Structure 1
Amino acid sequence: MNRPDPSVNPQAEAGDAPASSETSVTTEAAATAPAVAFSGLLRPLEILDRIIAMIEAFILTAGILVMAASSVANVIGRFVFGQSLYFAEELNQFLIIIVTFAGIGFAARHGRHIRMSAIYDELSHGLRKSLMIVIALVTATAMFILAWYSYQYVVSVYQTGRISPVTRVPIFLTLVWLPLGFVITGIQYVLTAIANLTRPDVYLSVSVVDTYEDNETEV
């Protein structure tokens, strides 16, 4: 009766099984590799990006938490104590403006804005990189133009001296985030263009690599 030789490696008889496993691991590692940070002369851009990210995260977190607390307190006051918070609705309106325009910069930083990529996906790596640079620069220009017009609008509101009817807050203070949000978003798209100019991969944003396999890599 023939017994199997213990010196024979079952995996070796499988042919390409180890190679296939190694290829799978390599592909997965490439898909999850972190984006390269700015360095050298571009190091200040990395610091600027981190500062903007912290400011956006703080504003979005604080704004959403305050809105949630205000809404819950208003419901409790209305149905438990029979008295609503008189400022809740107006406060939430102000916070929605802040969160919305802080959110556009946050979405740009994480590459989450809607993209029409039917043509883009069919291009070669070099053409996709070139197109992404053009898209980023054009979008940044549009954001800075909108920032200028929104700044003029805020100034015009300031000159009218309007105040909110309930909280008595000057209206222009609630609109200050309009130009700031557009400026921050424009900066994010400029950084995206620089990232594509200085790094080998295609970047959807300064921190998100377009892996071209529906596996966008984010720092």
Structure 2
Amino acid sequence: MNIVQVVTLVSPDGAYGGPVRVAQNQSSELSRRGHQVQIFAGARGDVDEAYFGPGVRTRLFKALRIIPGTGFAGLCAPTMLPSLWRTLKNADVVHLHLARDLVMLPAALLCLVRGVPFVVQTHGMIDESEKMLAKILDRLLTLRVLRASQRCFWLTPEEQASLSELLGDSHRTLERLVNGVPLAEITLDQHPATAGHHE
């Protein structure tokens, strides 16, 4: 399959945390299994293009803060959108690591316009909020994206409850997805105490 993943921000200090690590582990394993994987992300600082592992095409675009005082929600990556639009033409599925920000929501809108199937993973970042910006974004786009997704993945019961509150309990695309981690390579060596000992 031709798989595209999109995440808000990659930086040398790992400021965006868990969603990037999850995208990294998922994309590396999907590539190992023979799928074609591309990751699109906003970037801040000098990031190695091999960040997401061998076989994964990493597409990084400068992240800009256009709304002061809003944390990650005020980030955008406008130069990403034309490249993503062209790539979506040949994508089989898109995995959006979705948050209420101006990197992910425009990317989601492109998926809607292109008609490409997509799944969303919210990492606990989309919940009930009294913030005016969140309410505006939800009304304009967030809820539409969640409802149009093929799957809306949750990890914790708290996240499931929040998404159910936003979407309604009858929404059928909610599904639990645990965080995959690479398997450790374990070798069975002789115990030091028995090395060289013979009966």
TM-score by length of 1: 0.21
Higher relative contact order (CA 8 A, sep 6+): 1
Q: Which structure shows the higher strand fraction?
A: 2
TM-score by length of 2: 0.22
